[in-house]
Amino acid sequence: MHQDVEGNPWFKQKLKEDEINHGVKGVHASIPFQCESCWMVNLEGRLPDPKLDEMYLMLIRRANLDAMGGRAVTTTAAHASATKRVIRNCSIFRKTPTIPARGPMPMKDVVGMSTAVDMLFNSISAKPRLKGEHHIQFESMRRVRSTFTKSWESSAQGIQEGSAFASGFGKATLTTCPTQQEWFGQFLRGAEIRMGYATKANRSLTTPTVVRLLEIIRREAEEETPLIAREYYKVGAAVATAVCASLRGPEVFQLDLAGMISHINMGKGGIMPDRPLKTGTDLSTAPHVMVVLLGNFKGETGVHHHMVSLASTTMSGIPVRWWLEKLLDVRRDEGCHHGPAFGRADGSVSSLHEYDSILHHFLAMIQQDDPELIAASDDVRANYSFFRTFRKTAEGRARAANLDSSIQNAMNRWRTIENAKGGRPRFNMVEHYSHARDLMTVTWRYSYVQ
């Protein structure tokens, strides 16, 4: 339902409901329309039983209505009006209209109605991923189509459809797969318009909030037992790393412990330049700390080893080196010298859920003590997570600091993907210390403004 800020239905709500729940006059002139009974014969080879097939008929009708809603009502009406005009004009001089017959339709499913019915049933029966929602999102519903398409491609009929046209990087394959038909595309557009989206993306935090968060974590860790303190220090190091290296949640947990131990002292005795943010300033000798990551990254294939040099301390006072050194001390106390840097005492990697629980605990403390940093009405559990919060925080701070877009793109490796021009992006298999130091103009400056 469309609502205003006070929760009142939008003034076009009734009109919208009428559009998605009623057919469109003349739509059979632009889409291959068939009624529920005809579709039952096509799909099951029998007429429907009103008592036993009520759900089945309802889903077929919903698919028909969504296919009608894939185009604007005005577009459909204009096409129907143009068709009538052709028929009237042809009748004047006794000409047969050049309009293909609307039937009889094939006695089988050639447009993907069966898959559409499966998708619609899944949309009302599957468990939603978002808290507080009663139905799944449109993108989740689409997975049923992907399952059918892959099944088709690997079937006896699908493997015979090997003809393809290729030009450059593009390739078009000839197929009779029903879910590739025009009607199915109209159904998808109509379903997407009807369902809409209920997004709950992670929000970013302000830099003062991040600084305060790290201060509270450090203070609380110093007052706790060693077992709890170690977990608090890990979360603090994860926050500092995620913000300053602009990492998504899963990437944070790919920090390599052995690589960190080998490179932790490099850059420790650096000399701070007078104007570090000035273009052309040599940053190769600035105080820095190396972050070593090992794993699969978004947009890459295979396991890659990455090294990123970050400022030892940021402009806002985030002591990145202190947190990373503390992380290594904690892992050393746990008897771990290799494997994930953010891991448990048994050597296994920690989970996003575990760190989010601790994060939410400290954010709630900030919310209670200082509503200016986190509003009292803000739902910290729903709006903040390691998954995207700190990546968004870093991006927002970089924009506020007027960093050139090329620096932001290079830090997040977007430019590498763009330069691939649709092909597979190529990254260095191993980024050595010397290479990471050469990139300090980008990575150090980006982390320093945080």
The Cα 180–Cα 343 span in angstroms is 45
Neighbour count for residue 421 (Cβ, 10 Å):
9
Same structural domain for residues 352 and 274? yes
Count of residues for the chain?
Answer: 450
CA atoms within 13 A on the CB side of 86: 12
Q: Taking the CA atoms of the chain, what radius of gyration do you get in angstroms?
A: 29
What does the block give as tokens for 72?
């604007």
Contact 344, 350 (CB under 8 A): yes
What local confidence, expressed as pLDDT, does residue 141 receive? 87
Q: Which of 146, 164, 195 is the last residue of a domain?
A: 195
Cα torsion at 412, 418, 420, 425 (round to 10°)? 20
What local confidence, expressed as pLDDT, does residue 438 receive? 72
What local confidence, expressed as pLDDT, does residue 47 receive? 94
Question: 248: which residues sit within 8 A by CB, 6+ positions away?
Answer: 242, 298, 387, 388, 391
**Closest Cα partner for 37 from 25, 27, 46?**
46
Q: How many domains does the chain have?
A: 2
Q: What is the phi/psi pair of residue 41, to 5°?
A: -65, -45
CA 156 to chain centre: 34
Same structural domain for residues 345 and 375? yes
Contact 235, 359 (CB under 8 A): yes
What local confidence, expressed as pLDDT, does residue 270 receive? 84
Same structural domain for residues 367 and 275? yes
Same structural domain for residues 221 and 362? yes
What local confidence, expressed as pLDDT, does residue 205 receive? 92
* Distances from the Cα of 225 to the Cα of 101, 232, 256, 362, angstroms: 81, 11, 26, 17
Domain-embedded: residue 159: no
What local confidence, expressed as pLDDT, does residue 117 receive? 95
Same structural domain for residues 296 and 427? yes
Domain-embedded: residue 202: no
| 412 burial level (CB within 10 Å; 0-12, 13-18, 19+) | buried
Pairing state of beta strands 164-167 and 170-173? antiparallel
The Cα 55–Cα 296 span in angstroms is 44
What local confidence, expressed as pLDDT, does residue 297 receive? 53
What local confidence, expressed as pLDDT, does residue 229 receive? 93
Q: Which of 138, 163, 195 is the last residue of a domain?
A: 195
Same structural domain for residues 293 and 187? no
Cα torsion at 316, 319, 320, 325 (round to 10°)? 180
Same structural domain for residues 349 and 386? yes
Same structural domain for residues 185 and 296? no
For the chain, list residues with pLDDT below 70: 1-11, 130-132, 162-171, 198-200, 295-305, 405-406, 408-410, 412-436
Domain-embedded: residue 11: no
Same structural domain for residues 83 and 180? yes
Determine the structural domain holding residue 376 and report its residue range: 207-448
Same structural domain for residues 93 and 132? yes
Residue whose pair of structure tokens reads 């260095």 in the numeric block? 428
Pairing state of beta strands 288-295 and 170-173? unpaired
Same structural domain for residues 190 and 220? no
Domain-embedded: residue 1: no
Neighbour count for residue 266 (Cβ, 10 Å):
16
Contact 112, 103 (CB under 8 A): no
pTM for the model stands at: 0.67
Residue whose pair of structure tokens reads 């709950």 in the numeric block? 200
Cis-peptide into 104, omega within 30 deg: yes
Domain-embedded: residue 2: no
Question: What does the buried/exposed string (b/e) look like for 344-376 if buried means 16 or more CB atoms within 10 Å of the residue's CB?
Answer: beeeeebebeebbebbbebbebbbeeeeebbee
What local confidence, expressed as pLDDT, does residue 421 receive? 45
The Cα 284–Cα 309 span in angstroms is 10
CA angle 74, 78, 79 (to 5 degrees): 120
**Closest Cα partner for 292 from 108, 432, 149, 125?**
432
The Cα 89–Cα 95 span in angstroms is 8
Contact 246, 394 (CB under 8 A): yes
Domain-embedded: residue 163: no
Question: 149: which residues sit within 8 A by CB, 6+ positions away?
Answer: 177, 179, 180
Domain-embedded: residue 126: yes
Domain-embedded: residue 5: no
Q: Which of helix, strand or coil describes residue 94?
A: coil
Same structural domain for residues 319 and 396? yes
Alpha helices (runs of H) in 100-256, residue ranges in sequence order: 113-125, 138-141, 143-153, 182-195, 207-223, 226-245, 249-252
Contact 338, 232 (CB under 8 A): no
**Closest Cα partner for 102 from 29, 160, 165, 171?**
29
Question: What does the buried/exposed string (b/e) look like for 100-135 if buried means 16 or more CB atoms within 10 Å of the residue's CB?
Answer: eeeeeeeeebebbbbbbbbbbbebeeeeeeeeeeeb
